[in-house]
Homo-oligomer: A and B are copies of this chain.
Amino acid sequence: MTLKYYFDLLSQPSRALKIFLSVTKIPHESCQVALRKGEHKQEPYLSVNRFGRVPAIDDDGFKLSESVAIVRYLSNKYSVPNNWYPKDVKGQAAVDEFLEWHHLDLRLGCAMYFQTRVLKPMLTGQPPSEKSLQMFTERMNTSLDNFENLWLGDGRPYLTGNQISAADIFAACEIEQVAFGGHDPTKGRPKLGVWLERVRKDLSPHYQEAHTFLEKFRTASSKL
């Protein structure tokens, strides 16, 4: 049985995991779930993931959601090169530390900005209120400053050392999204700029392929 991967490239963890599957060369069948049609909240998808979110996997009947849990499961089960998710205890803990930190910091900060600045206005036809846009822009900038100063502050080329890992993939996908939403995350953050360019290049062409779909938002957001 082939591993089935359920995703929509509109979702940043879906993109991150798609890139992870590509760079680690894990054979999988791509199963698209169209968020814009509400397919994630209906059967048959709810039988794959009862939470009605993407991404998820079905590995010969074993169903699992939550992108970070899936990275760990795949790294435990498949032959994944050590740099992406290290096998040694401390190296793995360092990647875990970022993946756990990012949920309520980088991910929340960037996702709320993108929703407020781009997604909601596109869905409702109404521009965001100045107050909420200002609040979410500030939160995002705080997260990005933390990223620049606390994660990239020591000058290492990647988030957890000298090798690219799953942490870099997840971080880049969150940060790239705000760039597509009309905000330059690298402005005033030179380390983030150098790091993002390095990660884009290392993950080429999978990274660019996963972000093709977001191009439409760059155009749309410039008109809002």
Binding site for B on A (CB under 8 A): 50-51, 62, 64-70, 72-73, 76-77, 89-90, 92-94, 96-97, 99-101, 103-104, 107-108, 146, 150
In the assembly, what is the distance between CA of A50 and CA of B149, in Å?
A: 10
Kindly identify which residue among B67, B76, B90 contacts A92, using a CB–CB cutoff of 8 Å.
B76
**Copies of this chain in its oligomeric complex:** 2
Query: Looking at chain A's contact residues, is the secondary structure mostly helix, strand, loop, or mixed?
Result: helix
Specify which chain B residues have a CB less than 8 angstroms from the CB of A51 in the assembled complex: 101, 146, 150
Which residue of the partner chain B has the closest CB to A72?
A: B96
CA distance A146 to B93 in the complex (A): 29
B73 touches A93 (CB 8 A): yes
Sample of 23 A–B contacts (CB below 8 Å): A51-B146, A51-B150, A62-B90, A62-B93, A64-B94, A64-B97, A65-B101, A66-B96, A66-B100, A66-B101, A68-B96, A68-B100, A69-B93, A69-B99, A70-B93, A72-B92, A72-B96, A73-B89, A73-B90, A73-B92, A73-B93, A104-B104, A104-B107
